[in-house]
Chains A and B, each alone.
Chain A
Amino acid sequence: MAYISQYQYYENGGTAPTDENWGSYQYVSLFEIVNNFMLMYQGNHSLINNEERFKILFHAKRAIQELNYDAFKEIKVLELSVDDQLRFVLPSDYVNWVRISKESNGILYPLSENIQTNWSSAYLQDNTGKILFDIDGKALSPQFSELDYARIFTIKPTIYLNGGSPYNGMSGYNDGGDWYFERQIGSRFGLNTETANSNPTFNINSKQGVINFSSGMHNQLVVLEYVSDGLENGNDSKITVNKMFEDFLYAYIEYAILSSKLGVQEYVISRARKRKGALLRNAKIRISNIHPGRLLMNMRGKDKWLK
């Protein structure tokens, strides 16, 4: 890939989308990684010889996936409304979530993951508790389990201190500075801080590919911050890697091939492994952007007076 002119960078040569190349100089493409590796690290005089390109491609993509899971810090963000069944369908390139927030009046409220499940599948049963089957021998299922029905169509009680809490809206009285309610007096002693959150909660059904929210989240805007694997839905020409990790990728591919090749001396593999590890550490330090200016900003806070 050739260097591009500034007109190409800022305006994409006048063709839409004009922002196509913004920030592109931070990145090196997968094509370049594979091409450079084949050119520089493989050949008659190199440690690696006569390897098929698809193997190089495989290891390059695996390295990019691994880097995307944690080292890159490149978070994708998607905003969607919660549907009538209190679901938020996971994005097509979703791998794992980072944070889920509810948007309300322009402010994001981070939501807690419910430590109890809030969804379930169910089978139909007769009044003696026996499961009902169809003619093919498959167990019959209701449209919603009792758990789901209560959550979706009513305000399901919850252990969290939100709208579903048994104490929500309950009147109480104050005695000697302590609040007491008419019933369950004393139940708030020993409050579980993990569940002491007034925001709605969620639980992820990974296999079904949805986030299930607690009652009262119909049509609410939810912002999902998540990580993908960086493979751009299979479009090889769009896959890029931050340049900080370029050398690590070469080292990773080299190590991956050497370590799985017959007859390579252990010291060679060991050297490749150490090089790979060192380059990853270097890249992580670089990408974390620890520099004096940023530290100075943090350190200034130490003199702030607390009242």
Chain B
Amino acid sequence: MINSVRNTVLSVLNKNNYGYISPSDFNLYAKQAQLDIFENYFYEYNYQINKENARSSGTGYADITKGLIEVIDMFSVSSPLSLSTTPPMVSNIYYLPSPTTTGYDYYLLNKVLVYTTLLSSGTTDSVLANKCIDSTATFVTDGVKVGDVIGLVRTNITQYVTVTLVDSETELSTTNSIYTNTVWDGVGVSYVVYNNDLQEAEKVTHSKITMLNNSLLTAPSLVYPAYTEEGLIMTAYPNSINDIGRVLSQYIRYPNTPKWTYVSLGSSGEPSFDQSQPDYQDFELPASDEGDLVQKILQYAGMSIREASVVQFAGGLENAENQQQQ
């Protein structure tokens, strides 16, 4: 889609010889335009909910909310949060999603889940493919069953594998994780086994958490966990939530930064679209938003080349579309 958008933008700009934007400028505007539209989904979603509450929105094919949820869910990611291991080693502090811990920055942390029942934990002391082997473990006695989840950290990423067979008191067969198929390739891997009971943790403001912790009736428990956010970390309550992989997050990530990649052709160095470049990244928005992207980029480009009529044209198109959607 990115090449199509660029061609359309250039076509509009060149129509009256307004000017030309370079690939690097285009990529900058494309990123901004995508972010604008991405963020607007959430405002649009709220607008549609209000319309629903006022009974002025339809169902079936007229269910605009449903379409917006689908688009937003395209950016949904579920992944465990990494336990902060800088002092103290055991704490209830976890890192929020970021490119280094979960692979993505998060726009909205929608849900935080906590595994309530820890069945077993330890460190592996033998190596066998797809086997968690710990000679000191008592997996059968601990009640580990097929389908239970094992949290572990490999290559600094907290990840899960699932128990496929309880071989013995000291040995479990597992699946691979989504990150690697060699999770058990070394001894000394710390692991924690949970059963599948998950409870949703509630986000609480800093102004409430102290009173909540002191409340006899509503203090956070493993049945009703809570968390606060501070910078790049979240603190889970009760503070017994302090194990590897105990906290699972579902969040809406930012869209990847689009990049129109090219090769230079001929002596003039005319750029030619080449999507085989390793850093190529298409827009992540649905095709129906191509028009919006063109308008947004045109606005930025018009500002750049100081051509008011381009900005006006793109702005007019956007307003017309907004009115139509309402």
Contacts and interface: CB of A to CB of B under 8 A. Distances in A.
B223 A236 contact: yes
Interface stretch (B96-104, B211-219, B312-320): B211-219
A234 B223 CA distance: 11
Contacts of B222: 237
Contacts of A30: 223
B210 to A, nearest CB: 13
A79 B52 CA distance: 60
A222 B226 CA distance: 43
Contacts of A53: 202, 224
B221 interface: yes
A291 B214 CA distance: 46
A306 to B, nearest CB: 53
A276 interface: no
B52 to A, nearest CB: 7
Given A234-B216, A236-B223, A54 B202 contact: yes
A94 interface: no
Contacts of B218: 54, 57-58, 61
Q: Interface residues of B toward A: which range?
A: 10 to 19
Given A54-B218, A58-B217, A44 B53 contact: yes
A30 B224 CA distance: 11
A1 B117 CA distance: 15
A128 to B, nearest CB: 48
A52 B217 contact: no
A45 B217 contact: no
B21 interface: no
Contacts of B49: 44
B129 interface: no
B204 interface: yes
A31 B223 CA distance: 7
Q: Is the interface of A mostly helix, strand, loop or mixed?
A: helix
A273 interface: no
Nearest to B216: A234
A44 B226 contact: no
Contacts of B204: 52, 54
A211 B105 CA distance: 62
A62 interface: yes
Interface in B216-249: 216-218, 221-224, 226
A61 B219 CA distance: 12
A239 B224 CA distance: 13
Contact of B52 (A15, A34, A44, A236): A44
Interface in A49-67: 52-54, 57-58, 61-62
Contacts of B221: 234, 236
Interface string B22-53: 00000000000000000000000000010011
Contact of B202 (A45, A52, A237): A52
Given A52-B204, A53-B202, A57-B217, A236 B53 contact: no
Contacts of A62: 217
Contacts of B216: 234
B203 to A, nearest CB: 9
A57 B49 CA distance: 26
Q: Which of B212, B215, B224, B226 has the most CB of A within 10 A?
A: B224
Nearest to A65: B217
Contacts of B223: 30-31, 236-237
11 contacts: A44-B49, A44-B52, A44-B53, A45-B52, A54-B212, A54-B218, A57-B217, A61-B217, A231-B217, A236-B221, A237-B223
Interface of B: 49, 52-53, 143, 202, 204, 212, 215-218, 221-224, 226
